[in-house]
């Protein structure tokens, strides 16, 4: 059970409706747990490690089918990654490989319980990074030194990786990055897609840079998102940081100006971005594709939270309605609109006949502005 205060939530008001709502949410949350799909992807059979699941392959991948590794020929096996679901993915790998797993390190969000035994965990801050994010990155880099051709490395990028995977470039302090992040995402309400080109170009780990430390070892890159297409991941990505990144220093500057943040961010940030040193450019597809790797998107839409929640709603006698899957607007405004739709359904039977279940998903924002408080995306 994932809803810990279930009895409290179902103890008042429309108890029957609340019970149904909790069952729908519980089913959706179970489907959203990446542990289950990771166990589908990775398995042991007769001394061989098999990595593969057709639904998790990006469309157009140059290589398809299972990766089969004879464990007698594989050297060390490591797991590195960051994100709010990364521990669950790593837990599945731990449970599958047991003592055959050498180790690794994960950066998860503060407040999470640490569940891993063979893989180290650092808990960092999100959405504004802190010193622990930096320390976690330093631990990952230290463990990546000396990888050999016979070694195998799993990387994990999950939601929140853009904050948790933070190691500032020389000349830009963590506090400078924190201030830039806060100004863009909390004060200005910038979407993650606009913020990422900025922080990617201020970081030694983001924008695919974590992966350049893996060769000559083989890499299995796991993204806790739908698999998308190979072309999208290689040439149009700015937020899955174990993969190549498509933007430039110029885009970073443009995005700061777009949100009227250029003059507000620290001078060190402006100076670094304007210098545009090629040494610190993010990793592009041409360089990335020289490495040995496979990519799997382990949370395909059809196995995700919304389809599963809709199925559960139908089982309980409700007509499931998918309002939207990619909401990226203010949380309070979204709540007001959906509540208004629900009231109209109840009183007028429009635009849907009751009983129905309104289901939606995405990345809602809480803009704080100059006030103090908790804000950002999915807060």
CB 261 within 8 A of CB 184: yes
Q: What pLDDT does 377 receive? A: 63
Q: Which residue has the tokens 């790998």?
A: 93
Q: What pLDDT does 368 receive? A: 79
Q: What is the 3-state secondary structure (H, E, C) of 14-55?
A: CHHHHHHHHHHHHHHHHHHCHHHHHHHHEEEECCEEEECCHH
The CA dihedral of 325, 331, 333, 335, to the nearest 10 degrees, is 70
**Per-state percent for the chain, helix, strand, coil, to nearest 5:** 40, 20, 40
Helix axes 267-275, 249-258, angle to 10 degrees: 140
Task: State the CB neighbour count (10 A cutoff) for residue 281.
Answer: 17
Query: What fold characterizes domain 6-31+304-377?
Result: glycerate kinase, domain 1 (3.40.1480)
**For residue 220, what are the contacts with CB-CB under 8 A and spacing of at least 6?**
51, 67, 152, 153, 154, 155, 293, 294, 296
DSSP strand pairing (293-297 vs 218-223): parallel
Q: What ranges do the domains of the chain cover?
A: 6-31+304-377, 33-167+203-247+282-302
What gap in Å lies between CA 151 and CA 249, rounded to an integer?
Answer: 34
Domain 6-31+304-377 identical in fold to domain 33-167+203-247+282-302: no
Task: Pull the structure tokens for residue 37.
Answer: 């799909």
Q: Which of 344, 167, 173, 362 is nearest to 269 (CA)?
A: 173
**For residue 352, what are the contacts with CB-CB under 8 A and spacing of at least 6?**
319, 321, 345, 358
Question: Domain 33-167+203-247+282-302 classified CATH 3.40.50.10180?
Answer: yes
Cα–Cα distance list, 311 to 55, 103, 112, 299, 339 (Å): 19, 38, 29, 17, 22
* DSSP state string for 308-361: HHHHHHHHTT-EEEEEEEEE-SBHHHHHHHHHHHHHHHHHH--SSPSSEEEEEE
List the chain residues with pLDDT less than 70: 1, 376-379
Q: What pLDDT does 329 receive? A: 86
Q: What pLDDT does 379 receive? A: 46
Q: What pLDDT does 370 receive? A: 72
DSSP strand pairing (376-377 vs 365-366): antiparallel
CB 73 within 8 A of CB 150: yes
CB 210 within 8 A of CB 241: yes
- The model carries a pTM of 0.88
What gap in Å lies between CA 253 and CA 270, rounded to an integer?
Answer: 8
Provide the sign of the torsion angle of the four alpha carbons 118, 122, 123, 126, taken in this order. Answer: negative
Distance of CA 77 to the CA centre of its chain: 22
Q: What pLDDT does 250 receive? A: 99
pLDDT in tens, 168-211: 999 999 999 999 999 999 899 898 999 999 999 999 999 999 99
Largest interatomic CA distance in the chain = 67
DSSP strand pairing (103-109 vs 120-124): parallel
DSSP label of 215: T
Beta bridge partners of 365: 330, 377
Alpha helices by DSSP H, the chain: 6-9, 15-32, 34-41, 86-97, 131-144, 161-164, 174-181, 192-200, 230-235, 249-258, 267-275, 285-288, 305-315, 331-348
CB 67 within 8 A of CB 51: yes
């Amino acid at each position: 059970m994932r809803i810990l205060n279930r009895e409290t939530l179902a103890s008042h008001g429309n108890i029957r409706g609340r019970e149904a709502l909790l069952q729908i949410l519980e089913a959706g949350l179970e489907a959203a747990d990446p542990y289950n799909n990771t166990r589908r992807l990775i398995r042991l059979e007769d001394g061989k490690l098999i990595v593969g699941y057709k639904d998790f392959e990006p469309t157009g991948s140059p290589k398809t089918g299972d990766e089969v590794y004879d464990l007698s020929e594989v050297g060390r096996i490591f797991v590195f990654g960051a994100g709010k679901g990364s521990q669950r993915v790593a837990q599945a790998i731990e449970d599958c490989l047991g003592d055959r797993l050498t180790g690794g390190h994960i950066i998860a969000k503060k407040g999470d319980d640490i569940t891993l035994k063979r893989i180290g965990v650092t808990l960092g801050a999100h959405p504004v990074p802190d010193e622990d994010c930096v320390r976690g990155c330093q631990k990952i880099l230290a463990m990546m030194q000396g990888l050999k051709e016979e070694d195998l490395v799993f990387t994990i990028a999950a939601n929140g990786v853009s904050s948790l995977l933070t190691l500032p470039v020389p000349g830009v302090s963590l506090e400078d990055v924190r201030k830039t992040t806060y100004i863009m995402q909390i004060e200005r309400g910038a979407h993650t897609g606009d913020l990422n080109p900025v922080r990617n170009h201020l970081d030694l780990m983001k924008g695919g840079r974590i992966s350049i430390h893996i060769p000559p070892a083989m890499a299995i890159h796991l993204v806790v998102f739908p698999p998308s297409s190979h072309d999208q991941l290689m040439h149009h990505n700015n937020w899955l940081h174990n993969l190549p990144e498509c933007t430039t220093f110029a885009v970073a500057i443009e995005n700061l100006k777009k949100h009227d943040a250029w003059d507000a961010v620290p001078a060190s940030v402006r100076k670094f971005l304007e210098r545009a040193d090629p040494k610190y450019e993010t990793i592009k597809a041409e360089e990335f594709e020289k490495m040995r790797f496979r990519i799997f998107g382990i949370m395909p839409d059809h196995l995700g939270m919304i389809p599963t929640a809709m199925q559960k709603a139908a089982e309980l006698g409700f007509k499931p309605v998918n309002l939207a899957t990619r909401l990226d607007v203010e949380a309070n405004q979204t709540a007001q609109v959906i509540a208004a739709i629900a009231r109209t359904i109840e009183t007028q039977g429009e635009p849907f006949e009751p009983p129905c279940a309104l289901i939606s998903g995405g990345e809602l924002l809480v803009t704080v502005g100059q006030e103090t408080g908790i804000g950002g995306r999915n807060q």
